[in-house]
């Protein structure tokens, strides 16, 4: 099957391992890695036709490569998108999207609960005349109220990092549509295995493929998915010129990651729910943030919008006073012996991080307070270990929390 449209009727799990494949004349079974920077032409006329875009075919790996194409076609199939472009990292996917969609004098409305570097990137764009307003992810009326004449783009993550707040995609996309604004959703936490924002009204999906799409913490990568028109007219000119390109080797690692994505997500979500329930019952924990728990303020919305709660669980450690919160949280991190102290997530290995001193350090105390990120907050990204072993290790950490 090399006709990509033939894949559309197949199940997600099947497309995850087969969509996008184009065999070479050697009949290889696994997808080949084309580590080549450029492609040769039969003659000068063909070179000219390829450069002009009059003839289909590969030219130069800054913007076209067969391994990259397999990754892009497979991810597009999984997200239900017409087109996809791979990028070197999640941040370069977001950068390319902002460059493609906005110009000086225009305006972005972003959720205040976004990845730390994403907010930093938006703030950097103020230098180039693109301003960003931040609103609460969970309050659609605030999104509408923040619109002004130059508003071009809405940007959000759902569930958000690190508090796992959930956006009402139907409500926010309806506001975007009414006002001629493009809705961009960072689908990193859910992946298309749990949630497909384009089917729920979003115009653009961005990914940090570094996380669950790789799934084993090996390479950086990213992607932008949208209509063919938006990709061809707005994104490709940016990618081709600015060069935030995904290496063919990394594209290969990521497309292999897609093959196990849904089975990993099923297992990691089931374990996350088990760990979240266990944490909720622990006396040293004051609050657990996990969309799969009935106690999550948007549990019902989350369960309508995504097929499981995700693999990220955040929780607040009990502390005697506000000034003791950081010490209490750090004691838990340092008391765990198995969990990896690293900011990456989506790995097979469970990781633990203290957002306010790591991923969300650079946004500063005021923005953290506005986003509700306390010093007592820890984020755990559940991997593929047995959930009982993850709880045993967390119990060791929580046993060190000074105030009980
Ligand atoms: C990690 C992350 C990014 C940035 O991706 P990189 O691949 O590290 O550049 C963007 N959004 C979210 C939600 C992330 O977790």
Q: Which of 212, 242, 259 is the last residue of a domain?
A: 259
Sign of CA dihedral 212, 298, 274, 161: positive
d(CA 139, CA 73) in angstroms, rounded, equals: 34
d(CA 216, CA 330) in angstroms, rounded, equals: 25
Helical H segments across 104-179, by residue range: 116-124, 140-145, 169-178
Instruction: Give the model's pLDDT for residue 403.
Output: 58
Same-domain status, 310 and 250: no
Same-domain status, 292 and 373: yes
Q: Name residues contacting ligand 1 (CB within 6 A).
A: 89-91, 115, 117-118, 157, 161, 186, 188, 208, 210-211, 220, 222
pLDDT tens digits, one per residue of 232-277: 999 999 999 999 999 999 999 999 999 999 999 999 999 999 999 9
100, two tokens: 């493609």
Using the structure block, give the residue that is written with the tokens 């957002």.
355
Same-domain status, 317 and 370: yes
Average pLDDT over residues 82-100: 98
Are 268 and 386 a contacting pair, CB within 8 Å?
no
Same-domain status, 250 and 389: no
Instruction: Give the model's pLDDT for residue 289.
Output: 97
The CATH number that applies at residue 331 is 3.90.1150.10
Which is the closest atom of ligand 1 to the Cα of 189? 13
Ligand 1 center to 344 CA (angstroms):
9
Same-domain status, 18 and 159: yes
Pocket test for ligand 1, best of 95, 184, 188 (most atoms within 8 A of CB): 188
The CATH number that applies at residue 58 is 3.40.640.10
Q: Which of 229, 259, 289 is the last residue of a domain?
A: 259
For residue 402, pLDDT beyond 50 = yes
Same-domain status, 267 and 227: no
For residue 85, report the phi and psi dihedrals to the nearest 5 degrees.
-125, 135
Instruction: Give the model's pLDDT for residue 401.
Output: 81
Say if 404 falls within a structural domain: no
| pLDDT band at residue 225 under the 50/70/90 scheme | very high
Same-domain status, 211 and 327: no
Using the structure block, give the residue that is written with the tokens 């000074």.
402
pLDDT tens digits, one per residue of 40-51: 999 999 999 999
346: containing domain: 263-398
Instruction: Give the model's pLDDT for residue 104.
Output: 98
Same-domain status, 283 and 324: yes
204 secondary structure, DSSP code: E
Same-domain status, 333 and 287: yes
E strands in 318-389:
340-341, 351-353, 377-381
d(CA 403, CA 324) in angstroms, rounded, equals: 9
Ligand 1 center to 269 CA (angstroms):
19
Which is the closest atom of ligand 1 to the Cα of 221? 7
Which are the contacts of 369, defined by CB distance < 8 A and separation ≥ 6?
none
378 strand-pairing partners? 315
Which is the closest atom of ligand 1 to the Cα of 94? 10
d(CA 145, CA 149) in angstroms, rounded, equals: 12
- What does the mean pLDDT of the chain come to? 95
For residue 6, pLDDT beyond 90 = no
319, two tokens: 């502390």
Ligand 1 center to 3 CA (angstroms):
32
Which is the closest atom of ligand 1 to the Cα of 209? 7
Ligand 1 center to 91 CA (angstroms):
6
Same-domain status, 96 and 126: yes
Say if 232 falls within a structural domain: yes
pLDDT tens digits, one per residue of 105-122: 999 999 998 888 899 999
| Residue whose CA is at the smallest distance from ligand 1 atom 7 | 90
Pocket test for ligand 1, best of 208, 223, 257 (most atoms within 8 A of CB): 208
Ligand 1 center to 197 CA (angstroms):
17
Ligand 1 center to 190 CA (angstroms):
13
Which are the contacts of 80, defined by CB distance < 8 A and separation ≥ 6?
192, 196, 198, 199
Say if 73 falls within a structural domain: yes
Ligand 1 center to 255 CA (angstroms):
18
Are 244 and 121 a contacting pair, CB within 8 Å?
no
3-class DSSP state for residue 356?
Answer: helix
Average pLDDT over residues 195-220: 97
Same-domain status, 286 and 163: no
Sign of CA dihedral 70, 72, 73, 77: positive
Q: Which of 259, 291, 326 is the last residue of a domain?
A: 259
3-class DSSP state for residue 129?
Answer: coil
Pocket test for ligand 1, best of 89, 112, 115 (most atoms within 8 A of CB): 115
Domain count, the chain: 2
Among 67-71, 223-227, 278-282, 343-347, whose mean pLDDT is lowest? 343-347
Instruction: Give the model's pLDDT for residue 1.
Output: 43
Same-domain status, 244 and 164: yes
């Amino acid at each position: 099957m090399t006709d990509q449209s033939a894949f559309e009727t197949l199940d997600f799990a099947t497309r995850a391992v087969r969509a996008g494949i184009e065999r070479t004349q050697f009949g290889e079974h696994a997808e080949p890695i084309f580590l080549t920077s450029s492609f040769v032409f039969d003659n000068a006329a063909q070179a000219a036709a390829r450069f002009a875009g009059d003839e289909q075919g590969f030219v130069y790996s800054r913007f076209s490569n067969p391994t990259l194409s397999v990754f892009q076609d497979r991810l597009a199939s999984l997200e239900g998108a017409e087109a996809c472009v791979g990028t070197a990292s999640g941040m370069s996917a977001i950068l390319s999207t902002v460059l493609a969609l906005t110009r000086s004098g225009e305006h972005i409305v972003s959720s205040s609960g976004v990845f730390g570097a994403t907010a930093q990137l938006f703030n950097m764009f103020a230098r180039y005349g693109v301003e960003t307003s931040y609103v609460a992810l969970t309050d659609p009326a605030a999104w509408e109220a923040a619109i002004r004449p130059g508003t071009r783009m809405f940007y959000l993550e759902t569930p958000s990092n690190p508090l796992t707040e959930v956006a009402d995609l139907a409500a926010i996309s309806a506001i975007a549509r009414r006002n001629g604004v493009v809705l961009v959703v960072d689908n990193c936490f859910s992946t298309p295995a749990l949630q497909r924002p384009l089917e729920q009204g979003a115009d653009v999906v961005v990914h940090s493929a570094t996380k669950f799409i790789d799934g084993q913490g090996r390479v950086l990568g990213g992607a932008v998915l949208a209509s063919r028109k938006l990709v061809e007219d707005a994104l490709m000119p940016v990618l081709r010129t600015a060069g935030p390109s995904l290496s063919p080797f990394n594209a290969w690692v990521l497309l292999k990651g897609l093959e196990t994505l849904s089975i990993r997500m099923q297992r990691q979500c089931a374990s996350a729910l088990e760990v979240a329930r266990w944490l909720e019952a622990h006396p040293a924990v004051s609050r657990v943030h996990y969309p799969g728990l009935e106690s999550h303020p948007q549990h019902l919305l989350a369960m309508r919008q995504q097929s499981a709660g995700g693999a990220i669980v955040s929780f607040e450690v009990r502390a005697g006073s506000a000034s003791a919160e950081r010490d209490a949280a750090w004691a838990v991190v340092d008391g765990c012996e198995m969990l990896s102290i690293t900011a990456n997530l989506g790995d097979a290995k469970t990781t633990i991080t203290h957002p306010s001193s790591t991923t969300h350090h650079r946004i500063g105390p005021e923005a953290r307070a506005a986003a509700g990120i306390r010093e007592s907050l820890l984020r755990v990204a559940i991997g593929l270990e047995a959930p009982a072993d993850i709880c045993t290790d967390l119990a060791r950490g929580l046993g060190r929390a000074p105030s009980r």
